[in-house]
């Protein structure tokens, strides 16, 4: 190979590498665009060495409904050092929030969460009155007496209050929204797509894994 040809090939490779750098930089999550800082940072509920991810959501939110199967797949593949939990915001319908914390207390939230979404968005049920909610619970295999006892319990009321407090201190003004380790907030509306928001989550998790 001649020196001229070798130099041309080397120069072309260098130009291609240089051109790739801005594209790589552009793919990185940008503060203020793809995520924002939680101010002040919040204490997490996980052990030292673990990274907490919270999804703030609302059963009545169509965007949360579209995210649900995607984020469930994402959660199923999380490494051991990441712990995921959900916080149901109160917003317009406290009954939806009460359903979530009832299912959570009964150990059924992961199994039946999508069923609640479907009842509201697919079957067009309001899920706001106790009669309708009780009928839904029975139709989905839950013991009526146990469900209603939990639904009206002090413990569920306490969890609802905690959820409201978390929504406030994190500055959540829309859903779905995800928090990473008490420091960062991101959402599909900020990033542009559900899949893009999960990529930003992965990046923020890695950022925390490396020490923030």
Which residue has 């139709």 as its token pair? Answer: 139
Say yes or no to pLDDT of 20 above 70. no
Per-residue pLDDT tens digits for 86-145 = 999 998 889 999 999 999 999 999 999 999 999 999 999 999 999 999 999 999 999 999
Q: Is the pLDDT of residue 19 over 70?
A: no
Q: How far apart are CA 102 and CA 159, in angstroms?
A: 9
Structure tokens at 157: 């009321």
- Does this model's pTM top 0.85? My answer is yes
Give the chain's mean pLDDT: 90
* Two structure tokens written together for 155: 């413990």
Per-residue confidence (pLDDT) for residue 70, from 0 to 100: 97
Please give the full DSSP string across the chain, using - where no structure is assigned: --HHHHHHHHHHHHHHHHHHHHHHHHHS--BTTTBEE-SS----SS-TT-EEEEEEE-TT-HHHHHHHHHHHHHHHT--TTEEEEEEE--TT-HHHHHHHHHHHHTT-HHHHHHHHHHHHHTS-----SHHHHHHHHHHTT--HHHHHHHHT-HHHHHHHHHHHHHHHHTT--SSSEEEETTTEEE-HHHHSSHHHHHHHHHHHHHHHHTT-
């Amino acid at each position: 190979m001649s020196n001229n040809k070798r130099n041309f090939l080397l120069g072309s490779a260098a130009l291609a590498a240089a051109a790739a750098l801005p594209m790589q930089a552009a793919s990185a999550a940008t503060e203020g665009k793809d995520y924002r800082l939680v101010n002040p940072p919040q204490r997490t509920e996980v052990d030292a060495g673990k990274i907490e991810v919270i999804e703030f959501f609302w059963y009545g939110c169509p965007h949360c409904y579209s995210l649900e199967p995607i984020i469930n797949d994402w959660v199923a593949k999380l490494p051991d050092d990441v712990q995921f939990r959900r916080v149901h915001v109160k917003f317009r319908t406290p009954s939806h929030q009460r359903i979530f914390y009832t299912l959570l207390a009964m150990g059924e939230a992961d199994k039946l969460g999508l069923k609640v979404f479907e009842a509201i968005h697919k079957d067009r049920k309001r899920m706001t009155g106790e009669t309708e909610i009780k009928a839904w619970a029975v139709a989905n295999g839950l013991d009526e007496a146990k469900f209603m006892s939990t639904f009206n319990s002090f413990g569920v009321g306490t969890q609802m209050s905690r959820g409201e407090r978390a929504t406030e201190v994190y500055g959540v003004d829309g859903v779905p929204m995800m928090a990473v380790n008490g420091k960062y907030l991101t959402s599909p509306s900020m990033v542009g797509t559900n899949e893009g928001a999960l990529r930003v989550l992965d990046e923020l998790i890695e950022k925390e894994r490396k020490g923030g």
